[in-house]
Structure 1
């Protein structure tokens, strides 16, 4: 089998890449297992959720999939409340940036579901086998199928098999932090506000979710410093759940009333992963290209930004250039250099700033937050940056 472009990866980023290329008139094939989706349960929510920025929402709308998402599984984030580890506090509201919402909270499987449906409706060639081996211009699947292409797009996640097989280096720096995710019932309504705490034990975020029969619901993302995070995960399930509830209620100090666990708890280690974004006949997108600290909630937005830049570069190429032309790949890398660097500086910088226990530094960072709270034009800049 041969196609000018083959996208490796059947997750959100891979599906979006293949669909965007096809809608842009490019001949493309997709390689990766096809997920199966159970009917949505109004009382059960997928553990992993994403904060979709206005720019990403517009991109998904341009692919024709945003309106396919069920409205009762979407939650608008109209404001953010950010607490420092002292008296620091910053409030950001959508109206301050003259936008309708700061973000949308969406379950990852709902985005993947509609993208998968759109790819199949569009009639894209989809090989549901797994990647096995790579040679320049050629991929072999685990079933022995050979796929030839002028450009392979690695959209197969942080542990990208294609990236590794293509010999593309990744600079990985563990943070010594474990991220815990789970959903909680909350006693008080969240009112569309995302709340974040920068504490001594790590960064905690509560994201607004759709209400359930039990009342209001939030999704917790808590990046806990090791060994606290690892020790919690290692506990027997019932004890872990009790300890997590107690620790969470103490950390939030009643901001949303009593919080009660309503889902399973998942955890994963965090690291800063950086790559050159390209290789010989290979372009990396999403987590295969970079992995940053999730404290800004911009991982998927950054990954879909990769997709948009790559697709635009390929669509606008000169007629004499093939999709894998080294010049095109360098253009793509240049286009993503500034956005990726900017987000890395923000997330890595904030992590280091709040990881410093020095009393003068702690005083300065909280004073800085209170200063931002008093400067509307700075808030506008923060909101505009986050909405891209």
Structure 2
């Protein structure tokens, strides 16, 4: 029988990270309350998909399954990625298949809305207290909301996004650098089947990814994530909807070389600025998770996986703490920070390094990176390393 814990924890933020944090800590026996607006999940029409999707790694999928959330999602709207093609800006290409790493899938493509709906259902099932108000300020460990409510938790968790009011209120050090790029997202109808393959092109100043999604009445479907310079994105987003579709379709044909045949835009086009950010993650009585703690370039699709790793580590650290220490004890929270330091740094260096590597147009660099990709594609043990990393595990053969 699970030991009941009585530490009072407030999770500020009610999107994916906040809901998953509250659910994980509640299942571990802690007394938890959510703080933030409550959105009403809607049931999507059969051929309408949420504009934002995530590539969920095997490690994250297992964590969501342990939370009881994975099976709450509509399996017909979840697409396994069984192979991946990564193209350089010349002749370089790396092909990865799940079978090469003895995996059933490299990742699963899931809509943000599907995950949020499932997490809300689980939160409701467990009867987690939800204060549908906004965080206003933090004074000597006391939380004040915009409605005048006063909360005195042992631990306040900031799961409140990249602009994190909790992080600012707690005075946690934070470093941010804008890439000068914009992530443009939409869904496309494709002439050819995607065959559960994710395809990515590094084109020098842009990174284009097409992620497999369920077919619709219009045909085969992929989700597009295109990281491009701000000026290029501004040109696109300044156009009316019809103009955006025409602009994208003409440039996609050139960028993809017809890999999936003719491509047509089938959903609204959105853009969001890209940053690399990191913080010290903890202060006495305060811990940060996910985007509130760090953000990385989306070229590897690992942002949410990194955040779910934070949540799993925080739950584990708090569950293993000595009984005489409170959940907000800085000695306990430092264990969480140390547990996450290596994986966060590794992902930050990997994504930022790849971005810089392919941004350079110096002839020797272009040659080296494409030759390197060709070599990697011929080495099975390198592929196993890459597949293991994509699945969220530690490198190994």
What's the TM-score once normalised by structure 2's chain length? 0.96
Instruction: Report the alpha carbon displacement of residue 3 of structure 1 after superposing the two structures with TM.
Output: 6.4
Q: CA offsets, 1:275-319, max 9 Å, x none?
A: 001122110000000000000000000000000000000000000
Of 288, 295, 298, the match for 1:294: 298
Structure 1 residue 247 corresponds to structure 2 residue 247: no
State whether residues 16 and 307 of structure 1, in contact with CA within 8 Å, keep that contact through their aligned partners in structure 2: yes
State whether residues 3 and 148 of structure 1, in contact with CA within 8 Å, keep that contact through their aligned partners in structure 2: no
Instruction: Report the alpha carbon displacement of residue 233 of structure 1 after superposing the two structures with TM.
Output: 1.3
Counterpart for residue 71 of structure 2 = 67
How is 1:198-347 mapped onto 2 (pairs within 5 angstroms)? 198-347=202-351
Aligned-partner Cα distance in 2 for 1:249–1:218: 14
Instruction: Report the alpha carbon displacement of residue 40 of structure 1 after superposing the two structures with TM.
Output: 2.0
State whether residues 204 and 360 of structure 2, in contact with CA within 8 Å, keep that contact through their aligned partners in structure 1: no
Structure 1, 164-173 or 50-59: larger mean CA deviation: 164-173
Aligned-partner Cα distance in 2 for 1:169–1:247: 41
Counterpart for residue 194 of structure 1 = 198
Aligned-partner Cα distance in 1 for 2:229–2:373: 22
Counterpart for residue 113 of structure 2 = 109
Counterpart for residue 171 of structure 1 = 175
Structure 1, 317-326 or 227-236: larger mean CA deviation: 227-236
Q: Which runs of 5+ in 1 are unaligned?
A: none
Instruction: Report the alpha carbon displacement of residue 234 of structure 1 after superposing the two structures with TM.
Output: 1.8
CA-based RMSD:
1.0
Name the SS of the counterpart of 2:40 in structure 1: coil
Counterpart for residue 369 of structure 2 = 365
Aligned-partner Cα distance in 2 for 1:374–1:262: 37
State whether residues 84 and 95 of structure 2, in contact with CA within 8 Å, keep that contact through their aligned partners in structure 1: yes
Structure 1, 221-230 or 57-66: larger mean CA deviation: 221-230
Counterpart for residue 357 of structure 2 = 353
Structure 1 residue 387 corresponds to structure 2 residue 376: no
State whether residues 3 and 29 of structure 1, in contact with CA within 8 Å, keep that contact through their aligned partners in structure 2: no
Q: Which runs of 5+ in 2 are unaligned?
A: 1-5, 393-397
Name the SS of the counterpart of 1:227 in structure 2: helix
Counterpart for residue 49 of structure 1 = 53
Q: CA offsets, 1:5-30, max 9 Å, x none?
A: 11000011100000000100111111
Aligned-partner Cα distance in 2 for 1:324–1:145: 21
State whether residues 7 and 30 of structure 2, in contact with CA within 8 Å, keep that contact through their aligned partners in structure 1: no
Of 7, 17, 22, the match for 2:21: 17
Aligned-partner Cα distance in 1 for 2:35–2:203: 42
Counting matched residue pairs gives: 387
Name the SS of the counterpart of 2:334 in structure 1: helix
Aligned-partner Cα distance in 1 for 2:246–2:372: 35
Aligned-partner Cα distance in 2 for 1:142–1:3: 24
